[in-house]
Structure 1
Amino acid sequence: MSALRRLSLVGIATATVLAGVGVSTAQSAPPPELPDEASDTARIAQSIRGMSLEEKVGQMFVLFAYGPDANKPDTRNTSLYGVATPAEVIAKYKPGGWIYFNARGNVESPTQLATYSNQLQTAAVNTGLHVPLTIATDQEQGVVVRIGPPATQFGGNMAHGATRDTADARTAAGITGRELKAMGIRQDYAPVADVNVNALNPVIGVRSFSSNPQLVADMTVAQVQGYQRDAGIMATAKHFPGHGDTRDDSHTALPTINHTLTEWNTIDAPPFKAAIKAGIDSIMTAHIVVPSLDPTGVPATLSKPILTGVLRNQLGFKGLIITDALEMAAVRLQYGDAEVAVRAIEAGADQLLLPPAPDLQFNAVLDAVRSGRISERRIDESLMRILLLKLKNGVLFNPLVDVSKIATTVGTPASLASAQQIVDKSVTLVKNNTSTVPLSAEPRKILVTGWGVSTTQSLANSLAKRGATTTVAQTGAAPSDAAIADAIAKAQQNDVTVVTTMKAWDTTVTDKAAKQQKLVKGLLATGKTVIVVAVRDPYDIAYFDEAPTYLATYGYAAVSMESLAKVLYGEITPTGKLPVDIPVAGNPAKPLYPFGHGLS
């Protein structure tokens, strides 16, 4: 048995026994003293020499399984992996990483997730390898979260950018990170370090802090510090080399970023350089073509000039490189799944996220090593990074969590209050031509209409708390003519209408954009008081600039709607400033409302 295995089993043997009673291994089985980094490296190198090739390759895969319980069969797992339970998936592949999705039945509650994490870790340490998983998720805050309430929710990156407050961004990451850690999640695929310079970007938008590279860099560093230093989990800057200037969604197409080398160094690179300087643990690749960095047309995820040449050699990144999901269309367009897995490793990736054909891709990597196409030394280099991070973040010695501590860690009153205070600073008043905001305290009837079942109801609830009599008429992302007519009729029966829009600029989805624009213009034509609120990207106003009152919240969770209600009723002064330019519709080079704009 290798040295690292002996060391890890010191904590794991106790942890496995205590899993059933929910005792924290942090209290019962502290790791042994390790004198220095060189000693860690030597011990891990000794461990790697004792691993089989199959075990090594397994550590390079980050998998998921359907369902909320490691021991519960699901036929979808059988179709994908040939085995029915998550525990059996772990036994088969011995993966190094695992990822949770709410949309794939993994997430029911924080307590359930903590229990699930312990089940997965027990399955991992009960394999012959005895190496725990690094469990991850995409808890970016804002519009991309996998774990909703009662976990603490925030406004998201662009909301942070609107405040310009790096201390708050760090606080938010620290809270999110501590809650994830309590649930057994030791890596967050956040923060997004992309600079959203394209208002028509369909996949990044408010997931970015700003269109200003320095502001994105500052916020990225703040969140790296929050996740890694304050919460003690791994942060992941994404999506390298920068996904902020595209009109294509890499989930469905292969985007090309036509920045010159000078533009890339000026716009896209600064946040990643800053993250590396701040000690970021991992960086996720982008499935994008950047001809100025690699003129061959190969996606960055599969590009050795980009991952090894630029990220490793030029920028000096020594941490973990993880691919974006290999199930996405962009990276599957040019090559078959087997070739994609091999090429990603050849390019310099350490871990392969969400392989869509696990058996095929696992065996393709094995065959590439056995044939000499990939050297085993190259595999060992990735193993060293993977295991060093597991050691650094305490995964090797304390993989289990104390389920009983969820209630005192996740969604606490103090965390929820901090989140509300942070989000309160982000709401941006873009237009107030008729001085509609703030509303007076007198009783009134308010119609809340537009996008979002929970969003419109949350806003209505917040307004009702302030004495309004509210009616909700949720119309969806592409409202029907009947829904529009109904909303207009209801608006005529109310004193004020608040209409929420969500990507009403997105003309790539013609029905959605046209229908939302039609709804807003129909409401404005009533002559009644109408307040338009963009609850995602702030760019919507370009398509109905005749609206006299317009606000941007950058997020649609209840916490953002409460902040909006506070601004509408004058309880707080709107202090958010646009972290991007809002361009004129059809003329991206001409600002309608510039970066930094915001009324008070």
Structure 2
Amino acid sequence: MSALRRVSLAGLALATAVSGVGVGTAAGTPPPEPPAAAAAALGRTIQQMSLEEKVGQLLVLFAYGPDAHRPDARNTTLYGVATPAEVVAKYKPGGWIYFNARGNVQNPTQVATFSNQLQAAATSVGQRVPLAIATDQEQGVVVRIGPPATQFGGNMAHGATRDAADARTAAGITGRELKAMGIQQDFAPVADVNVNALNPVIGVRSFSSDPQLVADMTVAQVQGFQRDAGIIATAKHFPGHGDTRDDSHTSLPTINHTLEEWNTIDAPPFKAAIKAGIDSIMTAHIVVPSLDPSGDPATLSKPILTGVLRKQLGFKGVIITDGLEMAAVRQQYGDAEAAVRAIEAGVDQLLLPPAPDVQFNAVLDAVRSGRISEKRIDESVRRILLLKLKNGILSDPYVDPAKVSATVGTPESLAAAQAIVDKSVTLVKNTTNTVPLSADPRKILVTGWGVSTTQSLAGSLARRGATTTVAQTGAAPSDAAIADAVAKAKQNDVTVVLTQKAWDTTVTDKQAKQQKLVKDLLATGEPVIVVAVRDPYDIAYFDAAPTYLATYGYAAVSMESLAKTIYGEIKPTGKLPVDIPVAGRPDTALYPFGHGMTW
């Protein structure tokens, strides 16, 4: 039997028994329970697994490098073995996650080959269950696999269009491309309601500040991922990460919503996702006193995960933690205790344990000591295996690398993405009617944030006849860079300056330097077009800007839509999906939800 077709007999038996269970359920209807034969086969498989194999299914790991057989010293440091295949053999994990920043992604064909290598390791002699391979392909500002994979504007760009059908189309395209690369799970969509303009970690990753709009878009993307593409969707971050000024990567946020506020603001998207049959939900490392006054983060809270998510909301799928390497979940109890408490709280899978041996053995010890029953472990393993059954992972986890290019980044998908993103650009202010520009030849300076983003926009403008100059200044422009941009602005007919979270001065004053750049450019008296390429809130800090647009993303597809808007090839139709508050006055809208100009 070929290594690319070697799947455990138990998995094949389960897949046969569960052949009636699939993703094609009616809109808004949860998937059916497995037939009795499938449930029995699944139970037998779990009985045959050792405790170590069961606990392995609770882990979602990663490894450094683009090849399962290539040694990397960083893997040895983390896991005690050098290659990704050896990591799989050692822990027999239930899941795997790819990161571009950790050397996993070179191109779609390589990703597909890597996926097959990992699955071969997971289903080799002595291994029982294929992996559920995942990544964070949220689109917009959180993307693990870049071009030639199709890129979109991201969640808040979808919110600006108000078009749920387009959000579903985008998820379907993204999901099919991931599936072609052997990735069966996307840690998306973000279901958080971003009601705090100073939120440093969510922002444009959220669809909107409006709970109903977020719920509608979340459901659309669940349908796109699960029903249209046939991969696992994961709504995050329960119970809602949208109202905080703290980043859970570095500290433990507290959400002080009352129970009524939580039910009104945070809960609707998750309730809608559950009703739509969402397969998986990711926890948030946040404290919500109204749901659990203990001070524990939701990831470690039985009242929140078992009491609210399981019992109150009726979620029957897989609960996965946010990354356990994040500071918010590590600071109270330490790595070993956090893993045990997460499972006691109701978690099924532990994402990115930072000390894998420590956390793996901590869970084993908790079962052997009687602190956690093996029945409790079996419950999670059953959910994980059922999820793999429903999505065809047990029966055939492999893909054909030779066929990847027929699905990933096709002309049809790229055209669909461009048409969707074209609808999202929002014209917030245009008091001097600087846009649209005429087709006359002119010199345009493109400055501000983003090496590739400024170059991408300049290229799009040049294709429309402009003579462009690029002066990229970064997230914290120096005084010399600002002076250079100002001098160049005086030599050009129009300046387009791109800002990226220029509002965020909570950590350092570096974004204040972006504000200075914009103000100094405006002081030249020359025409200046200010564009927020991430959060739309930046204009609160330089409201004197006469022309201001928001793109909600900085990928090339968004810059092409911006250029088309600047030149009047398309009318701006995006509407703000959030309030832009007055600087320092979060309860006062400078530009309200729904605002958007056109011509």
Q: What TM-score does the superposition give when structure 1 sets the normalisation length?
A: 0.95
1:73-97: CA deviation from partner (whole Å, max 9, x where unpaired): 0000000000000000000000000
Contact 1:66–1:106 (Cα < 8 Å) also in 2: yes
Aligned-partner Cα distance in 2 for 1:248–1:17:
47
Equivalent position of 1:475 in the other structure: 473
Q: Which of the residues 138, 141, 145 maps onto 2:139? A: 141
Q: Which of the residues 42, 60, 63 maps onto 2:61? A: 63
Matched, 1:396 2:394: yes
Matched, 1:80 2:78: yes
Contact 1:91–1:127 (Cα < 8 Å) also in 2: no
SS at match of 1:510: coil
Q: Which of the residues 482, 492, 495 maps onto 1:494? A: 492
Contact 2:66–2:114 (Cα < 8 Å) also in 1: yes
Equivalent position of 2:450 in the other structure: 452
1:232-278: CA deviation from partner (whole Å, max 9, x where unpaired): 00000000000000000000000000000000000000000000000
Equivalent position of 1:10 in the other structure: none
CA shift for structure 1 position 38? 2.5
Contact 1:59–1:97 (Cα < 8 Å) also in 2: yes
Equivalent position of 2:183 in the other structure: 185
Aligned-partner Cα distance in 2 for 1:418–1:18:
37
- Quickly say closer, same or farther: Cα 1:18–1:357, change in 2 above 3 A: closer
Give the residue type in structure 2 aligned to 1:323: T
Equivalent position of 2:256 in the other structure: 258
CA shift for structure 1 position 188? 0.1
Equivalent position of 2:312 in the other structure: 314
Give structure 2 stretches of 5+ with no counterpart. Answer: 21-33
Q: CA RMSD in A?
A: 1.2
Aligned-partner Cα distance in 1 for 2:208–2:119:
38
CA shift for structure 1 position 16? 2.4
Matched, 1:227 2:225: yes
Give the residue type in structure 2 aligned to 1:388: L
Aligned-partner Cα distance in 1 for 2:238–2:35:
27
Q: Which of the residues 108, 111, 116 maps onto 1:110? A: 108
Aligned-partner Cα distance in 1 for 2:206–2:512:
25
Q: Which of the residues 428, 431, 440 maps onto 1:442? A: 440
Contact 2:17–2:38 (Cα < 8 Å) also in 1: no
Matched, 1:34 2:57: no
Aligned-partner Cα distance in 2 for 1:512–1:195:
27
Contact 2:57–2:95 (Cα < 8 Å) also in 1: yes
1:85-234 to 2 correspondences below 5 Å:
85-234=83-232
CA shift for structure 1 position 39? 2.0
Equivalent position of 1:243 in the other structure: 241
1:297-347: CA deviation from partner (whole Å, max 9, x where unpaired): 000000000000000000000000000000000000101100000000000
1:175-221: CA deviation from partner (whole Å, max 9, x where unpaired): 00000000000000000000000000000000000000000000000
Equivalent position of 1:303 in the other structure: 301
Contact 1:40–1:388 (Cα < 8 Å) also in 2: no
Q: Which of the residues 500, 507, 510 maps onto 1:509? A: 507
Give the residue type in structure 2 aligned to 1:423: V
Equivalent position of 1:5 in the other structure: none
Single out whichever of 508-517 and 61-70 deviates more from structure 2.
508-517
Contact 1:173–1:226 (Cα < 8 Å) also in 2: yes
1:397-416 to 2 correspondences below 5 Å:
397-416=395-414
SS at match of 1:500: strand
SS at match of 1:583: strand
Equivalent position of 1:368 in the other structure: 366
- Quickly say closer, same or farther: Cα 1:17–1:132, change in 2 above 3 A: closer
Single out whichever of 71-80 and 30-39 deviates more from structure 2.
30-39
**How many residue pairs were aligned?**
579
SS at match of 1:305: helix
Aligned-partner Cα distance in 1 for 2:334–2:447:
46
Equivalent position of 2:333 in the other structure: 335
1:528-579: CA deviation from partner (whole Å, max 9, x where unpaired): 0000000000000000000000000000000000000000000000000000
Give structure 1 stretches of 5+ with no counterpart. Answer: 1-12, 20-25
1:119-166: CA deviation from partner (whole Å, max 9, x where unpaired): 000000014132100000000010000000000000000000000000
Aligned-partner Cα distance in 1 for 2:591–2:283:
32
Contact 1:420–1:559 (Cα < 8 Å) also in 2: yes
Q: What TM-score does the superposition give when structure 2 sets the normalisation length?
A: 0.95
Q: Which of the residues 7, 16, 35 maps onto 2:4? A: 16
Aligned-partner Cα distance in 1 for 2:210–2:158:
13
Contact 1:94–1:127 (Cα < 8 Å) also in 2: no
Give the residue type in structure 1 aligned to 2:201: V
Contact 1:346–1:374 (Cα < 8 Å) also in 2: yes
SS at match of 2:133: strand
Aligned-partner Cα distance in 1 for 2:4–2:178:
20
CA shift for structure 1 position 509? 3.2
Give the residue type in structure 1 aligned to 2:189: P
1:499-578 to 2 correspondences below 5 Å:
499-578=497-576
Aligned-partner Cα distance in 2 for 1:558–1:421:
13
Contact 1:140–1:191 (Cα < 8 Å) also in 2: yes
Contact 1:217–1:275 (Cα < 8 Å) also in 2: yes
Aligned-partner Cα distance in 2 for 1:230–1:582:
35
1:47-67: CA deviation from partner (whole Å, max 9, x where unpaired): 101110000000000000000
Contact 2:581–2:589 (Cα < 8 Å) also in 1: yes
Equivalent position of 2:290 in the other structure: 292
CA shift for structure 1 position 17? 5.2
Contact 1:473–1:487 (Cα < 8 Å) also in 2: yes
Equivalent position of 1:8 in the other structure: none
SS at match of 2:93: coil
Aligned-partner Cα distance in 2 for 1:433–1:513:
25
1:407-435: CA deviation from partner (whole Å, max 9, x where unpaired): 11000000000000000000000000001
Give the residue type in structure 2 aligned to 1:400: Y
Contact 2:89–2:127 (Cα < 8 Å) also in 1: no
Single out whichever of 294-303 and 126-135 deviates more from structure 2.
126-135
Aligned-partner Cα distance in 2 for 1:34–1:74:
40
SS at match of 1:498: strand
Give the residue type in structure 1 aligned to 2:299: T
Give the residue type in structure 2 aligned to 1:434: T
Contact 1:41–1:384 (Cα < 8 Å) also in 2: no
Contact 1:15–1:399 (Cα < 8 Å) also in 2: no
Q: Which of the residues 463, 470, 476 maps onto 2:461? A: 463
Equivalent position of 1:9 in the other structure: none
Equivalent position of 2:376 in the other structure: 378
Aligned-partner Cα distance in 2 for 1:363–1:38:
34
Aligned-partner Cα distance in 2 for 1:318–1:512:
45
- Quickly say closer, same or farther: Cα 1:135–1:298, change in 2 above 3 A: same
Equivalent position of 1:51 in the other structure: 49
